[in-house]
Amino acid sequence: MEGTAFSIEEASFDASLLPEGSRTPGTEAFHRAVTDYFQKSYASMGGQLSVVFAAGRIEVAWEPAAPEAPAMASIGPLLQQRRFDEARPLLETLLQLQPEHPVSGDIEN
């Protein structure tokens, strides 16, 4: 899985996605709320997320977990906590990346 990076103007971010009181671009409350928004959006994917504010722009970068980290290491805890909605896209991605993996045959819909 490849990482992703993008940049947008603070003023063009859809402020309606943020809580009231944190919708003014450039403010500390706006920066915290935008960072929380992206952290929640990428939480189920694991890896490293960076949200940086500079010169009126929001710089977002996400990198997947290190290749040597077993995929089930991030999926297992979600399953144990019965957070199936978060685990499902990760399991589906794992199945696509490793269709011949012995565990893949054990996964049923």
Output 105 or 52, whichever has higher pLDDT: 52
Q: What is the pLDDT of residues 15-64, one digit of tens each?
A: 999 999 999 999 999 999 999 999 998 888 888 899 999 999 999 998 88
What CA–CA distance (Å, rounded) separates 39 from 35?
6
Q: Residue 8 forms beta bridges with which residues?
A: 58
Return the percentage of the chain with pLDDT > 90, whole number: 43
Instruction: Name the residue ranges covered by the structural domains of the chain.
Output: 4-63, 71-106
Is-above-0.85 flag for pTM? no
